[in-house]
Amino acid sequence: MKEYAVSQLRNVALVSHGGAGKTTLAEALLFGSGATKRLGNVDEGTSILDYDPEEIRRKVSISASVALAEWKGHKINLLDTPGYFDFVGEVKGTLRVADGAVITVCAASGVEVGTEKSWSFCQEYDVPKMIFINKMDRENANFYKTLDALRELYGTNIIPLQLPMGQAENFTGLVDLVRMKAYKLEAGKAVECEIPAEMADEVDSYREMLMDAAAVTDDELAMKYLEGEPLSQTEIEQAIGVGTQTGDLVPVLLGSAKQQMGVDFLLDYMVACLPSPDSSEVQGTDESGELVSIDPSDESPLCAFVYKTISDPYVGKLTMFRVYSGVFKSDSHVFNINQQVDERVGQVFLIQGKEQIPVSQVGPGDLAAVSKLQSTVTGDTLGTKDSLVKLPPISYPAPQASMAIVPKAKGDEEKIGTGLTRLMEEDPTLHVDKNVETGQTIISGMGDLHLEITTSRLKAKFGTEVELSVPKVPYRETIRGKVQVEGKHKKQSGGRGQFGHVWIELEPLDAEENFEFVDKIFGGAVPRQYIPAVEKGIRETMVEGVVAGYPVVNIRATLYDGSYHSVDSSEMAFKIAASMAFKKGFMEANPVLLEPIMNVEITVPESYMGDIIGDMNKRRGRILGMEPQDGLEIIKAQAPQSEMFRYGVELRSMTQGRGSFTMDFDHYEEVPAQIAEQVVADSKKEKETA
Ligand code: GDP
């Protein structure tokens, strides 16, 4: 593989709503550029980019993948990203290392939620963008309608560089407004032809729109244009490039990825209009936290950023990175600045879909991978000990759904634990927590599909089968009343008997205090040596719970009287007596269940506010406040955890994917009596079947 200077590289992310045709487009670009000899097909499972067995089975992209196309003296690293929200982590990682993006829009479906998301991710990461209106051959394809919708949403700086000749079943070619030429398109071929006479007016008016937009970015060009001087293709392309980079202009191209129509032009314009890796300044922080700019040259010290990790139980771990400065060499050492460890580097690879092309080194701006790094994870910066500059990590969205993992086979727990740890290394949006109160392992992620795929991967990669279930709520038990209660344990059986006898007072404590044991024995009614056993008996009962098997909290137990037997009393007997007293007293002292209440912050477009608030009421939620931010509304609320496990999924369907939320634990509150009854009944049933 030829080595390319940084100015000849393009790192281009392909983003879109799921199903708009990104993967097909990537395959078409690879085939069009000659990188592949055969056109991969997602429908037939022969895509070189969707190669994960889960991707082939489900026919959707799950993880971001990379492939490279060499085109007219340039190398384009294509980063295909998944379109479904569940895999947003992959999109974020990819956009971090992309210098430009192509947003693919389906000409028949027009602007979809995923299109809006793609747009806002590009904005968030400040990635210059182009739009490719795909599926021009599909029935109901409508270029102008799609274009108008885009312009209405995102402004009039969205400018077509091409107009279609016919559309849907009549789509035959395009007029290129930069070259001012028409082309008949056939699979992979473009044959120049006359601009159809009936298109003359619209071609003129869109050309003018394009020239006006291009002239804004370049004064000299503007002068020439105003004075009526002819402009070269290169001059116009350069101006479009500047405009694309500043965001003053978003070029729109069109075609059909599936029919291999218009794809070569897209390659041309990616090279001409999207920036090279050295065109904008990248900053990191040095040891003292100062911002420093990173020089994209071979001579500078190495600085590389890990944007993705793939773990495979057979091949090991594959670390994918982008070099920002210096040279990343095979058979060398690098220093992981985040983990502060030296890593031995073996063979460096370029990634072509599922294939790996060994290379001796990669330079600034380029993307590559290396296997078997020991400690490195996604988001780390790899450099040298002499230059400890760290790049900012990737920010991932908060989990939107949680489920409990239940092993299908007993004894698999350890294998599952190892598998989950590996999967978390490759997927930073996956979280695993062990809930000590309920004893469950909870996995949290971006949605149902994400969690489901996690279990498929556990099976495929680590050979362990699990089921998912709605997590148990970590309820707690406490009392509202004050009681005095007696516990007596007395057993006479042949030899030495058992005797323990206590009087205990139980009363509620403040929420901050879990348990207080008070010893008010005077005059030896309960001998000193048995008092710790009384406390222990109570504590052990508290852990097991009284009403429904949940731990008891916020309670004071005062031992104030009792009696003993000089021969038959023992620690064990007092422990049992205390436990009996506690259980009895607890039931008499107006017991209640407590449930975790979460702080919830929901971000939605204003039009959904009514629905969200209505739904929150149904979930026993309380709205605390609302405030507008960046054209959206932020709703602050509190709601019981039991009502919120599937909120992310339901919020998404209520808002067509436009809403998001974050949630964290705030405090415990009493469960309403009716619901508490159900919880108690459920726990009894569970005990019976266990
Ligand atoms: P992705 O989810 O955005 O990666 O979309 P895919 O590349 O998987 O494509 C989704 C579906 O659209 C597949 O069935 C493709 O065959 C189909 N498709 C993709 N591009 C075109 C196109 O240009 N024209 C037509 N008619 N279908 C297309």
Report pLDDT for 59: 63
195 Cα–ligand 1 center, Å:
29
- Report d(CA 532, CA 402) in Å as an integer: 41
138 Cα–ligand 1 center, Å:
10
Is the C-beta atom of 262 inside 6 A of ligand 1? no
Amino acid at 579: S
Residue 661 near residue 603, CB atoms below 8 Å:
yes
Is the C-beta atom of 17 inside 6 A of ligand 1? no
- Report d(CA 200, CA 453) in Å as an integer: 52
Nearest to 209 by CA among 247, 242, 146, 252: 252
Question: Quick count: other Cβ atoms within 10 Å of Cβ 418?
Answer: 13
Please name the residues in contact with 394: beta carbons below 8 A apart, sequence gap of 6 or more.
92, 93, 96, 307, 378, 379, 428
Is the C-beta atom of 257 inside 6 A of ligand 1? yes
The secondary structure element, H or E, covering residue 541 is helix 531-544
- Report d(CA 558, CA 381) in Å as an integer: 58
140 Cα–ligand 1 center, Å:
15
Is the C-beta atom of 81 inside 6 A of ligand 1? no
Is the C-beta atom of 258 inside 6 A of ligand 1? yes
Report pLDDT for 358: 94
- Report d(CA 521, CA 564) in Å as an integer: 13
Residue 426 near residue 376, CB atoms below 8 Å:
no
Is the C-beta atom of 508 inside 6 A of ligand 1? no
260 Cα–ligand 1 center, Å:
12
DSSP calls for 5-33: -GGGEEEEEEEESTTSSHHHHHHHHHHHT
Nearest to 17 by CA among 52, 61, 77: 61
CA–chain centroid gap for 418, Å, is: 21
Q: CA neighbours within 13 Å on the CB side: how many for 514?
A: 7
Report pLDDT for 80: 87
- Residues of the chain predicted below pLDDT 70: 48-64, 83, 312-315
19 Cα–ligand 1 center, Å:
6
Residue owning the nearest CA to atom 17 of ligand 1: 21
The atom of ligand 1 lying closest to the CA of 24 is 7
Residue owning the nearest CA to atom 24 of ligand 1: 135
Nearest to 9 by CA among 261, 350, 294: 350
Dihedrals φ, ψ of 8, to 5°? Answer: -100, 5
Strand residue runs (E) in 470-554: 476-479, 483-491, 498-508, 515-519
Report pLDDT for 330: 96
Amino acid at 114: G
Is the C-beta atom of 141 inside 6 A of ligand 1? no
Question: Quick count: other Cβ atoms within 10 Å of Cβ 652?
Answer: 22
Strand residue runs (E) in 298-366: 303-312, 316-325, 328-329, 332-336, 341-345, 348-352, 355-359, 361-362
244 Cα–ligand 1 center, Å:
26
258 Cα–ligand 1 center, Å:
7
Is the C-beta atom of 24 inside 6 A of ligand 1? yes
Question: Quick count: other Cβ atoms within 10 Å of Cβ 431?
Answer: 16
75 Cα–ligand 1 center, Å:
25
**Substitution candidate for ligand 1 out of 86, 87, 103, 258 with most atoms within 8 A of CB:** 258
Residue 456 near residue 54, CB atoms below 8 Å:
yes
Helices (H), 21-87: 22-32, 53-58
Is the C-beta atom of 118 inside 6 A of ligand 1? no
Task: Kindly state the tokens that stand for 213.
Answer: 């937009």
349 Cα–ligand 1 center, Å:
29
Is the C-beta atom of 20 inside 6 A of ligand 1? yes
Residue owning the nearest CA to atom 6 of ligand 1: 21
- Report d(CA 566, CA 468) in Å as an integer: 55
Q: What angle do CA 249, 122, 145 make, to 5 degrees?
A: 55
- Report d(CA 564, CA 558) in Å as an integer: 18
- CA distances from residue 297 to 5, 154, 363, 421 in whole angstroms, order as listed: 9, 36, 8, 36
Q: What is the pTM of this model?
A: 0.81
What spatial distance separates the first Cα and last Cα of the chain, rounded to whole Å?
Answer: 62
36 Cα–ligand 1 center, Å:
18
24 Cα–ligand 1 center, Å:
6
Is the C-beta atom of 82 inside 6 A of ligand 1? no
Task: Kindly state the tokens that stand for 264.
Answer: 């070569």
20 Cα–ligand 1 center, Å:
6
Q: Which string of b and e fits 132-159 if b means at least 16 CB within 10 Å?
A: bbbbbbbeebbbeebbebbbeebeebbb
**Substitution candidate for ligand 1 out of 14, 16, 23, 24 with most atoms within 8 A of CB:** 24
pLDDT tens per residue, range 466-493: 999 999 999 999 999 999 999 999 988 7
The atom of ligand 1 lying closest to the CA of 26 is 7
Task: Kindly state the tokens that stand for 353.
Answer: 């879909």
Please name the residues in contact with 657: beta carbons below 8 A apart, sequence gap of 6 or more.
85, 113, 114, 117
The atom of ligand 1 lying closest to the CA of 257 is 23
Residue owning the nearest CA to atom 14 of ligand 1: 43
Is the C-beta atom of 21 inside 6 A of ligand 1? yes
Task: Kindly state the tokens that stand for 591.
Answer: 């017991």
Nearest to 590 by CA among 558, 642, 640, 555: 555
Residue 468 near residue 452, CB atoms below 8 Å:
yes
12 Cα–ligand 1 center, Å:
19
Nearest to 128 by CA among 217, 58, 223, 21: 217
419 Cα–ligand 1 center, Å:
33
